Chain A
Amino acid sequence: MDRKDFLLALDEMLELDAGTLTGAEELDSLDNWDSLAVISFIALVDEKLGLVVEGEKLAKAKTVDDLLALAGVAVAA
C-alpha cells in the first residue's frame, strides 16, 4: 500500500471525500479524529499492512504524516 492508497483509506475511514487528506493536516483539525478513529486506524494498519501500531507512539502523533510514519508508509510524496 503506497502513500496515495493509504491517504485514500484514511479519507474513507474518517468519512472524508476521496483525495481530501494530503498528509500535512493537524489531527486536532479533523472533526472525526477521535478515540473511535484511533481504534479504526490501528485495525486498518493491522489489516492492510500487518503491523501493530504502538499506542504510546500514536498518542504523540500530531499530523496525518505522523500516522503514515507509524504505519511504515513513506511520508515523502
Chain B
Amino acid sequence: MSDSPGRLRRARADIDGGPAAYLSLGRGGVPALLLHGFAGDSLTWQFNFAPLAAHRRVLAVDLPGHGGSTLDVGEGRIGAFAPWLVRLLNALEIPRVHAVGHSMGGYVALELARHAPERVASLSLIASAGLGPGFDLGFLRRVTALSSVTEGEACAAHLFAQPSPLAGRIGEVLHAQAADPARCVALERIVAGSFADAAEHWRPVDWGAFSMPVQLLWGREDRIIPLPSRDRLPPGAPLHLFDNTGHLPHSEAATPVTVVLRDFLSTCDLP
C-alpha cells in the first residue's frame, strides 16, 4: 500500500475517546463514510470499497470495540459513537460525508445524523438497526459467547440467505473476537447498553428530524433484522430490496448494492 493521496491506506487517528482505525481510498468529492455492523470491522466493505472510491474518497472506520479502534465503548451506548466519529472527521478535516451504515452501523449513522446533521450529506441504511425492536437479540448474544470456530461458522452462515464461501472466514473471525476477553467485554457492553432493552424502551424514529436524503437497502431473506413494517420506515425514502439475500446485502448482492449506493451518493452530491 502506498501513502500517496488517493491510494489504499490503513491508518489510525488518535482522538479523544480512543484511537480510530480506518481505511481510506480515493480522493475528492463528498467522502463516503462506511460504518460496519456488530462484531464486524471495516473490511466488511471489501467488495464495495474500491468501486465506490472511483469518484470520491471513501473511508471505512472500525467502530469502538471493533477492529483496530479503541476497545473502550463506555456504557455501550451507540449514541456515544457519534461524537467520536465527529472527532475523527475533524481530525481528518472532512466537513461532510455520505454516511453508509450496515446493521449496527446504520444505527450509528442515524445517531451521527441526529448529533451533527450538518456533517451528513445523505444516509444509506443497509439492513439497519435502530429502526425498531424487531431484531434477533439472541443472535447478538450468541456471537459474544462462541466457544468454537464451528459455532462461529454456524452464526456466520445465518447471516446469508444462500451458502456462502465467506462464512468460514467470518466464523473464524467471530470466534477469535469472542475468545479475546477485552473484545468480548466490549461487545457485551454494546449489547447491554444499546440492544438488550430495546423492546421495552423503543421510541419510534422521528424521521421529520432528518433533513438529508435517506435510502434503505435490505435483503428479502434477512434473518437478523427483517425489514421493519412500513410505518417504521422514513416516508418517501427509496427502498431497495434484494432477492436471495440475507443480512449482508453488501456482500451477498455486492454488485447491485454498490450500484445503488454509487448512484444515490452521486445524486446527493448536488447542493
Please list the residues of chain A having a beta carbon within 8 angstroms of any beta carbon in chain B.
35-36, 38-40, 42-43, 46, 52, 54-56, 58-60
Q: Is the CB of A43 within 8 A of B164?
A: no
Q: Is the CB of B8 within 8 A of A40?
A: yes
Shortest CB distance B195–A (Å): 26
Q: Is the interface of A mostly helix, strand, loop or mixed?
A: helix
Indicate whether B54 reaches chain A with its CB closer than 8 angstroms.
yes
Number of B residues contacting the other chain (C-beta, 8 Å)? 23
Using CB atoms, name the residue of chain A closest to B49: A39
Contact partner, B46, options A39, A52, A54, Cβ 8 Å: A39
Q: Which residues of chain A are within 8 angstroms of B53 by Cβ–Cβ distance?
A: 43
Please list the residues of chain B having a beta carbon within 8 angstroms of any beta carbon in chain A.
1, 8, 10, 23, 25, 43, 46-51, 53-54, 164-166, 251-255, 258
Contact partner, B54, options A35, A36, A46, A54, Cβ 8 Å: A46
Indicate the member of B46, B166, B254 with the most A CB atoms within 10 Å. Answer: B46
Q: Is the CB of A59 within 8 A of B50?
A: no
25 contacts between A and B (CB under 8 A): A35-B43, A35-B46, A36-B8, A36-B23, A36-B43, A36-B46, A38-B47, A39-B8, A39-B23, A39-B43, A39-B49, A39-B50, A42-B47, A42-B50, A42-B51, A43-B8, A43-B53, A46-B50, A46-B54, A52-B51, A54-B255, A55-B47, A56-B47, A59-B164, A59-B251
A56 to B164, CA, bound (A): 9
Q: Is the CB of B165 within 8 A of A43?
A: no
Q: Is the CB of B51 within 8 A of A56?
A: no
A3 to B155, CA, bound (A): 39
Using CB atoms, name the residue of chain B closest to A37: B46
Using CB atoms, name the residue of chain A closest to B43: A35
Using CB atoms, name the residue of chain B closest to A54: B255
Q: Is the CB of A54 within 8 A of B8?
A: no
